[in-house]
């Protein structure tokens, strides 16, 4: 009942010249049952919009300001993203949390700002290796979710997505096993079910962290894994399209 979503996260990669081939290849190759989206760097949103408009591939950004407007040099508001017809925006990616100081409270505020502008936030959560080894994965992920739930309505999650991304699996080539991922996905869904069973049942929970063509089908076959958030493999059209096909 949940349509799978495969979202690419280009991170800080690309150029006008290089993007064009990738955008067109993904646009022309994405044909299956899964939804497909690309989260591109801000300067390339107009290019993504021009290339993907009218296709089945949606686009979005990788971060958003928690502020609506004003003297916030360097920031980009949710309304600006909506101006470029973004459907999605990542909030709380672990690289934002660990390198740019996005606290749970900031992530919650960004989530609310995105929802206010009609965007679909993709809320990223996940534990570090030390946290997993300390046996506190569930605690960490629950804390990250509760911070957002504390600042919004549960109904906001009818128009939001969660991505479980164990930090130790991002860009490392080390993937959570399907069983490890499923266990956390089930925990995340049960956390939302405590608030609203119907919203929890409809909530798409993506897995992210070294997803490749070779491991995607097994991950996406788990009952609570509703697609993927794809970093490195989203930069190569054939790899990304193979992952999209594995979700269809």
What residue has token string 């609506």?
68
Shortest Å, Cβ 101 to ligand PGA: 18
How many angstroms separate the CA atoms of 178 and 217, rounded?
A: 10
Shortest Å, Cβ 202 to ligand PGA: 23
Instruction: Pick the catalytic residue from 66, 93, 127, 131.
Output: 93
CB 59 within 8 A of CB 38: yes
**Which tokens go with 178?**
């399907």
Of 55-63, 69-77, 204-212, 213-221: span binding ligand PGA (CB under 6 A): 204-212
- The answer to whether residue 205 forms part of the interface with ligand PGA (CB under 6 A) is no
In the region spanning residues 162 to 191, those forming contacts with ligand PGA, defined by CB under 6 A, are: 165, 170-171
From the list 118, 36, 122, 34, the residue with the least C-alpha distance to 84 is 118
Instruction: Pick the catalytic residue from 35, 131, 165, 185.
Output: 165
In the region spanning residues 217 to 246, those forming contacts with ligand PGA, defined by CB under 6 A, are: 229-233
In the region spanning residues 108 to 167, those forming contacts with ligand PGA, defined by CB under 6 A, are: 165
Task: Read off the DSSP letter of residue 42.
Answer: G
How many angstroms separate the CA atoms of 219 and 52, rounded?
A: 27
Sign of CA dihedral 150, 128, 4, 110: positive
Shortest Å, Cβ 231 to ligand PGA: 2
Active site residues: 93, 165
Residues forming contacts to ligand PGA in the complex (CB under 6 A) are 9, 165, 170-171, 208-211, 229-233
């Amino acid at each position: 009942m949940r349509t799978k979503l495969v979202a690419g996260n280009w991170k800080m990669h690309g150029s006008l010249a290089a993007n064009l081939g990738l955008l067109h290849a993904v646009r022309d190759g994405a044909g299956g049952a899964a939804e497909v989206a690309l989260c591109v760097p801000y300067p390339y949103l107009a290019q993504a919009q021009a290339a993907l408009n009218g296709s089945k591939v949606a686009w979005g950004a990788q971060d958003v300001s928690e502020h609506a407007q004003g003297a916030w040099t360097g920031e980009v508001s949710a309304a600006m993203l909506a101006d470029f017809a973004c459907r999605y925006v990542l909030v709380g990616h672990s690289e934002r949390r660990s390198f740019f100081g996005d606290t749970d409270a900031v992530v919650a505020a960004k989530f609310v700002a995105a929802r206010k502008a009609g965007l679909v936030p993709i809320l990223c959560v996940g534990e570090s290796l030390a946290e997993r080894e300390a046996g506190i994965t569930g605690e960490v992920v629950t804390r990250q979710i509760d911070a957002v739930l504390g600042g919004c309505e549960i109904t906001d999650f009818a128009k939001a997505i969660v991505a479980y991304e164990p930090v130790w699996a991002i860009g490392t080539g080390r993937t959570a096993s399907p069983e490890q991922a499923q266990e956390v996905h089930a925990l995340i869904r049960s956390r939302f079910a405590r608030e609203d069973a119907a919203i929890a049942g409809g909530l798409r929970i993506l897995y992210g962290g070294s997803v490749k063509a070779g491991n995607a089908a097994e991950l996406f076959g788990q009952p609570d894994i509703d697609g993927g958030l794809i970093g490195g493999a989203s930069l190569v059209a054939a790899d990304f399209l193979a992952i999209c096909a594995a979700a269809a």
